[in-house]
Structure 1
Amino acid sequence: MSTHGPVMPIWSCGGCDLPWPCPTRRQELRAEYAGAPVSLALYLGVCLVQAAEDMPWAPAGALHRRFIGWARQVPEVQERRTAAGPGEPGRDGRHRAG
């Protein structure tokens, strides 16, 4: 269990007092949800909704960037994870067995 959990209703980090999710927690979440980016996005979306209710004065765009914007994968990383289907050449130019 991470010590970098949110302290509500101000959504600061319980481990380092930075705005949650802090850089450490973001790294932990990426590892926890490796291979499941939709699940990560859903979890962060729920957190975003809760934070918006707890902090109605916070600009929506800032909350979006804070909770969801960082979780988008860089296209290069996404490209590496995309496997070639049967009969299609892989990155090395060889065809994969079907």
Structure 2
Amino acid sequence: MVEHLPLRPLWLCRRCGQPWPCGAAKLALVAEYRDNQVSLFLYMAGCMHDAIDDLHQLNPSETGSASGMFDRFLGWPARHTDSYRVTTPEAIRGEGTSS
């Protein structure tokens, strides 16, 4: 059975044909990188770079917006992980107080 991997240079899922990373690929990536979320962001940043290059070579006018590509490759892990949140001493002190 084919895994939910990117079909380059189109950046579609080899299995379901959706833009990669598809929903199933995202779930697999979160599970694979659950103990090292920074590596997930680095991997996805590399994929985004490759996708921009590949898609631009195929059709420069259809590459997509920078914000769309960012959300496609890096926005979703930021919404599904805590690794991007910065904890400050002020935030920690504020957790114990209620307004």
- Compute the TM-score of the two structures, normalised by the length of structure 2: 0.70
- CA distance in 2 between counterparts of 1:38 and 1:64 reads 16
Pick one of 68, 77, 83 that aligns with 1:71: 77
| Greater RCO, CA 8 A, separation 6+ | 2
Matched residue type, 1:22: C
CA contact (8 A) 2:4 2:14 kept: yes
What displacement does 1:73 show? 4.4
- How many residues matched? 77
Q: Higher helix proportion, which one? A: 2
Residue 49 of structure 2: aligned partner = 49
Query: Counterpart of 1:25 in structure 2: which amino acid?
Result: A
For normalisation by structure 1, the TM-score amounts to 0.71
Runs of 4+ in 1 over 2 A off after TM superposition: none
Indicate the RMSD between aligned Cα atoms, in angstroms. 2.1
Do the aligned partners of residues 2 and 64 (structure 1) sit closer, same or farther apart at CA in structure 2, a change above 3 Å counting?
Answer: farther
Shift in Å at residue 60 of structure 1? 1.3
Give identity over the alignment, percent: 37
Larger Rg: 1
The equivalent of 1:39 in structure 2 is: 39
Answer yes or no: is the 8 Å Cα contact 2:4–2:24 preserved in 1. yes
Distance in structure 2 (CA, Å) of the matches to 1:65 and 1:12: 16
